[in-house]
Amino acid sequence: MVISRHVPFGLGLLAFFASTVNADDAFSSNSRWGLGDWGGGRTWLLERGYDFMLYYVGEVASNLHGGYNKDKTARYTSQWAIGTHLDLQKILGWEAAELQFTITERSGNNLSNDRIGDPRTGQLSSVQEVWGRGQTWRLTQMWYKQKFFDSALDVKVGRFGEENDFNSFPCNFQSLAFCAAPVGNLAGDIWYSWPVSQWALRLRYNIDSQWYVQIGAFEQNPSLLETGNGFKLNTSGIRGVLLPLEVVWQPSFGAHQLPGVYRLGYYYSTAKANDVYEDVNGQPQALTGKAFKSHSNKHGWWLGVQQQVSTHNGDTSRGLSLFANFTIHDQATSRIDKFQQFGMVYKGLFDARPKDELGLGLARLHINDDVGKYQRQINKVNGLDDYDNPLYQPVQHTEYNMELHYGVHVTNWLTVRPNLQYVRHPGGVDEVDDALIVGLKLQSNF
């Protein structure tokens, strides 16, 4: 059936619905969406530039052994994301223009807060990545993107987070140590990842089909992290600007053209940041009690690698992929100064389950030595050496995280990922027992 472009949009849509048959049913395993194709209307809209999205992520975790509090329990947390992506070239005739709008809602509780890590320090990572940044509704994306000069220049402006473009990494693992931009997980005081958004500008120049370079400017405003400011649009409370710069290489190797993504980046924050050890006079703050030294900026580096290294019997949609991420943060102002992460994902290990995934990851989070030195001095000044004393400041070193999961492709719109996690020295505190956690992650596209 052909609907004339001169017919009003609503009438054309009703006419299409009336004439469509054999569309994907809601909750069919073959449907692209859990709610189905709306009698064919969703495909009709998509072809004309209107893409509507409803995503759900739910995560359950239970402490099987160890951790700070050995009382066994289970915790559940979730996120809903609803939004639309508009292809303005199809809708309005604006060449190479797009608009994205997304609202998210998070709820639930996190096992890491009081079972895995010592509440006085917390866990450096989290066994439920979807928890955090306030369990509330937020405006997460509201941006406009336009390409120029045959798509060589890509400009994005509006409300969004750094991880959408910079230091990007998938989020299929349940442990936060292997989810999304590592910089946002480690330097969260200045890098606001999903679901927080801020006013931002990103410029990308595509050098060729494999290389591009990009730079951004993001509002650095701590008030945006507050639960009641999920839809705040004004800039009151702004402290500075975060400036990330990144070079990205996307090669393909071998006869099967196996894809890879390699990222090298640097961030610079113009906001003032406190020293983690020295006071205003350059002396140990724990001993003098004076205000911490203030620095005019904060910065760090990252390197990210993702590479498919094999196929499964020649099928490039299946096979082994490796990944690694490294970050380094400045010693003067950063609580966590180093992060290393390695892992693998094998898609389609079994012929009977070609879309399932097996994932394994190992991460190391290192606390700045100056932070540990400060904590020891604080305890000495206060005359404390008993870890069980509630006033004692636990001394932090290094935390290790491991996750093994199997992603079951239940339908085209639902993936279930049972997982087993192991946390060594939660919070980087040697006195806290290593923890074994069982988890379950649900990802659905309605």
DSSP, residue by residue, 401-419: EEEEEEEEEEETTEEEEEE
What pLDDT score was predicted for residue 11? Answer: 36
Q: Which residue has the tokens 């990103």?
A: 202
Is the pTM value of this prediction over 0.75? yes
| Alpha-carbon gap, residue 125 to 110, rounded angstroms | 11
CA distance 39 to 270: 52
**Pairing between strand 273-279 and 240-249?**
unpaired
CA distance 329 to 218: 18
**For residues 195 and 106, is the Cβ–Cβ distance under 8 A?**
yes
- Half-sphere CA count of 224, side-chain side, radius 13 A: 30
Give the whole-angstrom CA distance, residue 265 versus residue 242.
Answer: 13
Two tokens, residue 183: 């910089």
Measured in degrees and rounded to the nearest 5, phi and psi for residue 160 equal -165, 175
The amino acid that residue 257 corresponds to is Q
Checking DSSP bridges between strand 336-347 and strand 357-367, what pairing results, if any?
A: antiparallel
pLDDT of amino acid 17: 40
Report percent pLDDT > 70 for the chain.
95
pLDDT at 440 (0 to 100): 98
CA 292 and chain centroid, separation: 31
Task: Please give the average per-residue pLDDT across 90-99, as a whole number.
Answer: 97
Please report the beta strands in 150-257, taking only residues with DSSP state E, as ranges in sequence order. Answer: 153-160, 198-206, 211-220, 240-249, 252-253
Average pLDDT of the residues of the chain: 93
Q: pLDDT value at position 165?
A: 97
| Domain 49-445, CATH | 2.40.160.180
Pair of tokens at residue 363: 């991460």
Q: Could you tell me if 401 and 117 are in contact, meaning their C-beta atoms sit under 8 angstroms apart?
A: no
The CA distances from residue 418 to 34, 62, 349, in Å, are 21, 12, 16
145-175: buried (b, 16+ CB within 10 Å) or exposed (e) per residue?
bbbeeeeeebebebbbbbbbbbbbbebbbbb
Of 167, 170, 189, 190, nearest to 179 (Cα)?
170
Residues 111-128 have a mean pLDDT of 96
Q: Hey, what amino acid is at 361? A: G
- pLDDT above 60 for 120: yes
> What integer pLDDT is reported at residue 12 of this predicted model?
43
Cα-flanking dihedrals φ and ψ of residue 395, to 5°? -90, 125
- Residue 253 makes CB contacts below 8 A (sequence gap 6+) with 260, 307
Say how far apart CA 241 and CA 238 lie, in whole Å: 8
CA 61 to chain centroid: 19
Query: How far, in Å, CA of 403 to CA of 405, rounded?
Result: 6
Provide the pairing of β-strand 273-279 with 252-253: unpaired
Nearest-angstrom CA–CA distance, 302 and 50: 36
For 185-230, the pLDDT digits (tens) are: 999 999 999 999 999 999 999 999 999 999 999 999 999 999 999 9
pLDDT at 15: 39
Report the DSSP beta bridge partners of residue 201. Answer: 157, 217
pLDDT at 2 over 80: no
Boundaries of CATH 2.40.160.180 in the chain?
49-445
Q: What is the pLDDT of residues 12-60, one digit of tens each?
A: 443 344 344 345 888 888 898 999 999 899 999 999 999 999 999 999 9
Whether the CA torsion 372, 373, 374, 375 is positive or negative: it is positive
The Cα 23–Cα 55 span in angstroms is 21
pLDDT at 13: 40
Which pLDDT tens digit goes with each residue over 352-400?
999 999 999 999 999 999 999 999 999 999 999 999 999 999 999 999 9
Q: Tell the residue number behind the tokens 């992060």, with chain if given.
A: 339
